[in-house]
Structure 1
Amino acid sequence: MKNVEPKVPLAVAGSSGFLPGCEGMRGAAALGVLLTHVAFQTGSVTESFWGRVWGRFDLAVALFFALSGFLLWRQHARAARGLSASPSTGRYLRHRIVRIMPAYIVVVCAVLLLLHEARGASATVWWANLTLMQVFVPYSLVEGLTQMWSLSVELAFYLLLPLFGWGLWRLRGEAARWRVPVIVTIAVLSLAWKYIPVPTADGVHHDNWLPGYLSWFAAGMILAEFATAPPPRMVRLARIPMLMPIVAVCAIGIAASPLAGPPGLVDLEPLEYAVKILCGAVMGYALLAPIVLAEPGRHHRILASPTALMLGRWSYALFLWHVAVLMVTFPILGVPQFSGYMFPVLVLTVVLSVAVASVSYALVEEPARRALLRWETARAERYRRQNGNAETATAATVTKASA
């Protein structure tokens, strides 16, 4: 009779806790976004092979979105399987607001007040940018802040995530196996967003709204579901050496081909848009899966290195500041925009952006995080004291009544 080995639940690195590889990947994504903006502003995004490749480094945004989908959805996935408590919506929203808004407001004010190309903006432009509503307000993406459209999309995802969690809450316990199919279905349907004729004002493009990018977030959400209930087949695939990186490179290659439309900032046809978005979702999943579904305790040699972790910590500030820094780089080098010189511009932009990001992190992001932590600690202490006093008073009343 054939011996049957008992099934042992798989353990993966991404089931809970901090993942150094994800932090390093965040830094790599920020550099990818920087590279594609440098390529565009220097006129290096062309019909040539490398021109198309530089242009498709904008898929680094897909990696940002997939990381957000994974990290923010993981507690919902754990709660659905009884592994942790349901996340507090109030606490979640507080942390998201404090995470993004203080540094963002500083950048918007600095750019609109100091950057020559953005000075003199109207009150509407100020309002749209300060509230992250620029993807809905005509012609409010100004020089130095053009990359913020993706942050507007991310904010929309942050606000809707509790609603997604509530919508899938019934799919828990035995029904949790249906969660991934539901998320995949939503992701696939979102690929048709460009086909929907949504009426908008001139200067507003509905393909820059959240529905068009749901599949990028869904890639991370699916990995969050896999991390809390690892499917053996998907774990084995993620752990095959070089398989997922090859898949990611193929996705980038297809996105850089004419199948995903012409290079540069052009309006894509619905099919071209769908191909590009699908490639971004596949790339995001393929790059994160080996980190999330790796053996516990196994860290990526490069992405978990001290340098990568440092860039990961500064990645949000790097994303916020790099376009404004890029605008300043041209006069420093004495070269006009769209005239070439990509690599000198790239090197100087990276150096200056990293320096500014480190200062921004130290002076804005970290103090805001610590202030929130102090407030929450004090709030919890007050709650404990109030409950303790109430319990003491109740016990005294019961004792007196018994006597």
Structure 2
Amino acid sequence: MTAPPTQRKAWIAGLEGPRGFGALCVVLGHVAVVFAPWIVADARIDYLGQALTFFFVLSGFLLYLPYVTRADNGRGKPVASTYFASRVRRVFPAYLVIFCIVNFGLGAAYTVNPVMTGWERADDGTGTITEPARLLTHLTLTQSLFPETLQTGINPAWSLTTEWGFYLVLPVAGWLLFALRGTRPIVAAILPPGILLVVGWAGNAAVSLLQSSSGLPVQQQNWGPNWYAILARSFFAFADTFAWGMIAAVLYAAILRGAFPGVSTARLQLAFGTLCMSAVAVSMVLFLHAPRWTASVFAVASLGFILTIVSPLGRGEQSRLAVITDWLPFRYIGTISLSVYLWHYPVIIVTARLDVPIPATVFGLLWGTALILGVSVLLGTITYYTIERPAMRWRA
């Protein structure tokens, strides 16, 4: 899960709503896994988990864009200390508060990896983490770096660890961009994401090779308490998804400079939209036959989708698609999406613990998603206005 940008000036119309829709997809997928696993098996709606890929691509786009535009305008690169401080303020206050409430208040943190107990038995293996070393990994968002703590605590928070991998790499990518911008501006902008593409492809190839020889069930290979799953969840296996977002930033910056002058905005959007839909189709095939590479291709679809929305804005024109994608309900969920993302699985656990009736039917899935999303949005709203927004506005 990627956190929305810290400063309002980084906001670009049309992108907050898709973040909210992606959060809805994640909630729906997790509700199905727990309360209607047969729907996951038959309809394969676990494909909705690719919303996380979109989050990673969007993060690459939004965070690399200031580096590219500053380089284009001859300005200095962002200050690393300021950048890191903003990332810490954006993620940790909300995460720490929610984790402490879930762990110490509700006793709804996973103390063992849920793969070992079964995700459909949501309340099994939950409780309060008290062992100091394990607790420290959760307080520092490093739990996904060790087999014994992977998927424990707030289990979807593994993606925040992956995000932090990108956060740490981005200033190095920015340094490379600015070091090369004087003589080779195009190479300077493309080389950092190009390197990350290679890293991601190599990481996925290594994961595929190691998992194929592991002898473990597929779920344990990807999510279990072992080093295969650690590598599969790591930044190295997802580096290419962030890279495609960075490439989207380079293309958007080029549009801002007046690139593609002979191509109408409508045709430009058609090209990006066609790329998006084609990549979605390919990713669906891969999801069924070569799932390790699904995110790599879905990331290309995410690039196409983002640029379909924002390319008119880069030309100073109105984007009708941006008006649609920023539909108020989705835009609001997108604004509070970090808190919603962190709250929704503990809400699922407590719902199962209380034996709230959610039938294992299509209707039950819709009812359960509406209930859990509603509670998560309520809690997310409280967290956003009391913790997230004040932390974002705080300056030392």
TM-score range for the pair, normalised by the shorter chain length: 0.7 to 0.9
Quick check: 2:16–2:331 contact (8 Å CA) kept in 1?
yes
Matched, 1:213 2:238: yes
Corresponding position: 1:225 with 2:250: yes
- Which residue of 1 is the match for residue 5 of structure 2? none
Q: Quick one: which of 194, 197, 209 aligns to 1:187?
A: 197
Quote the residue 2:97 is aligned against: 106
Equivalent residue number for residue 107 of structure 2 = 115
CA–CA distance in structure 2, aligned partners of residues 163 and 280 of structure 1: 26
- Give 1:240's aligned amino acid: L
CA deviation vs aligned residue, 1:155-196 (integer Å, no higher than 9, x gap)? 121122111111232321451111325523531442121433
Matched residue type, 2:287: A
- List alignment gaps of at least 5 residues for structure 1: 1-15, 261-272, 376-403
> Aligned to 1:321, which of 329, 340, 343?
343
User: Structure 1 residues 180 and 333 mapped into 2: Cα distance closer, same or farther (>3 Å)?
Assistant: same
| Aligned counterparts of 2:391 and 2:54: Cα–Cα separation in 1 | 25
Tell me which amino acid in the other structure corresponds to 1:30: A
Q: How many residues align?
A: 342
- Over 3 Å counting, the alpha-carbon distance change for 1:234 and 1:258 in structure 2 is farther
Considering only aligned residues, what root-mean-square deviation do their CA atoms show, in Å? Answer: 2.9
Find out whether 1:126 has 2:135 as its counterpart.
yes
Q: Which residue of 1 aligns with 2:14?
A: 21
Higher-Rg member (1/2): 1
SS at match of 1:28: helix
Corresponding residue of 1:171: 180
Label 1:280 to 1:369 Cα distance change in 2 as closer, same or farther (>3 A).
same
| Distance in 2 (alpha carbons) for counterparts of 1:234 and 1:185 | 32
1:290 — aligned with what?
308
Do the aligned residues in 2 keep the contact of 1:223 with 1:292 (CA within 8 Å)? no
TM-score w.r.t. the length of structure 1 is 0.77
Gaps of 5+ in 2: 1-8, 109-122, 215-220
Q: Give the drift of 1:344.
A: 2.1
Give how far 1:355 is off: 0.9
Residue in 1 aligned with 2:118?
none
Deviation at 1:45, TM superposition (A): 5.3
Q: What do the CA deviations read for 1:129-155 (whole angstroms, capped 9, x no partner)?
A: 111111112231456611111100101
How is 1:268-279 mapped onto 2 (pairs within 5 angstroms)? Answer: 273=292, 275-279=293-297
Please name the residue that 2:67 is paired with: 76
Q: Amino acid of the residue matched to residue 298 of structure 1?
A: Q
1: CA distance, partners of 2:354 / 2:78: 48
Match of 2:269 in 1: 239
Aligned residues of 2:143 and 2:150 also touching (Cα < 8 A): yes
Q: Distance in 2 between matches of 1:115 and 1:79?
A: 47
1:352: how far off? 0.8
2:178 maps to amino acid: W
Per-residue displacement from partner, 1:55-109 (whole Å, max 9, x unpaired)?
1111111111111111111111112223543111111111110000000001111
Give the distance between the partners of 2:201 and 2:267, measured in 1 at CA.
25
**Matched residues in 2 for 1:297 and 1:356: separation?**
37
Displacement of 1:240: 1.2
Q: Percent identity?
A: 26
**Using the alignment, how far apart are the partners of 1:40 and 1:189 within structure 2?**
31
Amino acid at match of 1:115: G
- 1:251 positional shift: 4.1
Structure 1 residue 124 displacement after superposition: 2.8
Find the counterpart in structure 2 of residue 147 from structure 1: 156
Alignment check: 8 A CA contact 1:238 1:293 kept: yes
